[in-house]
Amino acid sequence: MDIKLSPITQSNYLAAFSVQQNCHLYPWSQDVFADCLDGQYFAFQMEQLTEVMGYYIGLQVLDEVTLMDIGVKQSCRGKGYARTLMTHFIQQCRQRSIKDIWLEVRRSNLIAERLYLQFGFELIEERKNYYPTQEGRENALIMKKHM
């Protein structure tokens, strides 16, 4: 079946927002998610038939982009969809003449960290006690890819 990547807009974001809510222990509010769809942001969702399986949101400032969020629906994980999303995200960055891509990832998210390393991201630093957890706080890895 064909997978389609299409822009997330103010009129079609609810399915991607639902995926975001289920991807994170502490998800964004609907207002925060919707605010990330205009201006310097660019966002895409991955669909198969009518099902939204994943999404990403990037924030562009001059010639840098921060990957603000990326997620794949729980039932769709382990099938290469995150790789498809990252490939599309990097293509979008190239089209925008981006020089550097930044991201943060939970220290415990080894699968995501491995994916980012495979795409050429490098560990820049570890931010202590950045993400909330049920037991307290968790470190964030700051990663960068030079294009």
Q: Is 116 a catalytic residue?
A: yes
Contacts of residue 43, defined as CB under 8 A and 6 or more positions apart, other chains included, come to 7, 8, 13, 16, 36, 37, 55, 56, 57, 58
Which of 64, 104, 113, 138 is flagged as catalytic?
A: 104
Q: Is 64 a catalytic residue?
A: no
Which of 55, 56, 81, 116 is flagged as catalytic?
A: 116
Could you list the active site residues? 104, 116
